[in-house]
Structure 1
């Protein structure tokens, strides 16, 4: 009731006869009253103002966001996690040290099964559950590493070197198609039409495809020689699928 007293002033019904005489005086008093500041608890009901996030490429080695950061939108990727052996890691570093362009070795390796997507916050729970059920319908499978290829992102702001991956029994392709169907339920874009499954291990700024294409044959020859001597590194046994939403990672086991 104290709150109501701050908002309105009531006249007593028994004072109706004196109303006309006191109206002028009452108006003067009301006009002199200082307006009360609304409590923060009431002001907050009007909505919340969020600070806009401004992207600064210098904060992450010059990389530029593919899409604007917006509150409630979560960057999402479906992928196969890959842990390299020490020997293969050494090979990757030796390749990077002898390239005609300046760049960085990628520390967290994976095989992408989707584009980088924008997932709404209220979709996350159902999307994760749908992906979990989807993965239960697929058996574990083998992926083979073959040759070295060069890739560039859609914005042409970064170039990558990757090890091409192939799957003989078609499970990888069917899995990707099933994920695309799930994405369609949320009106999200499917994976690329001409899919080239790969493990990116090196990146550099800008479109440097022209410089790297020339040395791909020698890089592939070097990789094939390494894999012939380290056969265990030529194959990846895929037992689970990962999904990263924001900073949170989910893992889904295959049959």
Structure 2
């Protein structure tokens, strides 16, 4: 922050003496030096960017109770009930969309809102569509690709799981990579208590998503945890795509009821396809949340 160059105390005293000794002189008042405004001072010195780990400090709200109360969370229900002494765990890739990318994703949600409620909002009884792009204060939120199902570890397993997962990820040799959106669709969670508007993703150049998923599933299996997407090995996917290619996605919105005309799981979002397939979605680290703590495992930088 730029400092304002104030006059010294001695200079102020000299100025007072001058005016006391020259009260009768008809001298024009001295012009004061123009001080830089706060805006102009800060405009030339932009604030440094926040470190990547800053977002992990505030990545979840503080819980005051372990009891599931959907009224505190917009009607949402826990898929995995809390048990004292257990630690909810999730492995994922995180994406922070830029402001322009956020606007493009927001327009997709607005379009689905119009399809769901009607252009004149006549379907007022329908459940609203909630954006995952920002919180209630309008602060942009990161989006993610899951690399594990919701896991539950005991206290004795926490450190061993983290160490084993880091080793498994490093052994893959996966470097930082980029993927792109493929199409937009609605999917429900396991108990069909929520429906998510998701961006299905294209397969990256070196199949990095599948390699990382296999590594994470191997570790989950070692610790007796459920596996992600193993039930899709023989399941056909939508739009003629292979199920293995169709599973990776990023959720951008949710609602409590099934969207209009989406009785089938994986129903493509209604209306003309306006999926921003030109978006580059980069990943350079894997994150692991255990309870409220987030650990980050950096991927090796991509060769230039």
TM-score scaled by structure 2?
Answer: 0.60
Task: Name whichever structure is richer in strand by fraction.
Answer: 1
The answer to whether 1:136 aligns with 2:136 is no
Q: Which of 124, 131, 143 does residue 105 from structure 1 map onto?
A: 131
> Following the alignment from structure 2 to structure 1, what is the Cα–Cα distance between the partners of residues 183 and 249?
9
**CA shift for structure 1 position 215:** 6.7
Contact preservation (8 Å) 2:181, 2:275? no
2:90–2:288 contact (8 Å) kept in structure 1: yes
* Residue number among 197, 200, 213 corresponding to 2:248 in the alignment: 197
Shift of 1:163: 0.9
| Deviation at residue 210 of structure 1 after TM alignment | 3.3
* Structure number with bigger Rg: 1
How many residues are paired up? Answer: 197
1:119 lines up with 2:119 in the alignment: no
Find the residue that maps to 2:90 and give its secondary structure: strand
Root-mean-square deviation over aligned CA pairs: 2.3
How far apart, CA to CA, are the structure 2 residues paired with 1:197 and 1:207?
A: 21
Instruction: Write out aligned runs for 1:96-245 (5 A).
Output: 96-98=109-111, 99=113, 100=116, 102-106=128-132, 107-137=141-171, 138-140=173-175, 141-166=177-202, 167-193=204-230, 194=232, 196-208=247-259, 210-211=261-262, 216=269, 218=271, 221-224=273-276, 227=277, 231=278, 234-245=279-290
**How many angstroms apart in 1 are the aligned matches of 2:267 and 2:178?**
30
CA distance in structure 1 between the aligned counterparts of 2:267 and 2:221, rounded to whole angstroms: 38
CA distance in 2, matches of 1:209, 1:145: 23
On the 8 A contact 1:135/1:253 being kept in 2, the answer is no
- Give the TM-score normalised by the residue count of structure 1: 0.70
- Residues 91-130 of structure 1 deviation map (CA, whole Å, 9 limit, x = unaligned): 2222323321512111331011111111112111011111
Q: Which is worse superposed, 122-131 or 163-172?
A: 163-172
| CA shift in 2, pair 1:214/1:185, >3 Å | closer
Is 2:89 the counterpart of 1:60? no
Shift of 1:246: 1.1
Residues 124, 214 of structure 1: alpha-carbon distance in 2 compared, 3 angstrom cutoff:
closer
How many Å separate the matches in 2 of 1:248 and 1:210? 40
1:136·1:253 contact (CA, 8 Å) conserved in 2? no
Structure 2 gaps, min length 5:
1-64, 117-126, 133-140, 233-243
Classify 1:215/1:147 alpha carbon distance in 2 versus 1 (closer, same or farther; 3 Å): closer
- Pick closer, same or farther for the CA change 1:125–1:215 going to 2, 3 Å: closer
Unmatched 5+ residue regions in structure 1? 1-51
Q: Tell me the residue number matched to 1:31.
A: none
* SS in structure 2 at match of 1:88: helix
- Indicate if the aligned counterparts of 1:163 and 1:199 stay in contact, CA closer than 8 A: yes
**Higher helix proportion:** 1
